[in-house]
Amino acid sequence: MGKSSGSRLPLVQLKEQRRDLVVALQNRNGPVGSWELMQIAAIQQAISAFEDVIADLDAELELEAAAA
């Protein structure tokens, strides 16, 4: 039995949402609106924040492992 979408990691969900928005924009004709760009930018900021936190946690774990 597969996992439900509710059990996915938030970072994965954000990346999928960003991809879906970009693909939707690529497949449509006409100008890109400021609302669409703001949505993609907001999602990208959230992704960057998640990745920064993950990098910080990884660095802390490496320091703890080196000290042990």
DSSP 8-55: S-HHHHHHHHHHHHHHHHHTS-SPPPHHHHHHHHHHHHHHHHHHHHHH
Structure confidence at residue 6 as a pLDDT band (50, 70, 90): low
pLDDT band at residue 23 under the 50/70/90 scheme: very high
pLDDT grade for 8, boundaries at 50, 70 and 90: low
pLDDT at 26 over 80: yes
pTM given for the model = 0.78
Mean pLDDT of all residues in 1-7: 48
> In this predicted model, what pLDDT tens digit does every residue of 41-54 receive, in sequence order?
999 999 999 999 98
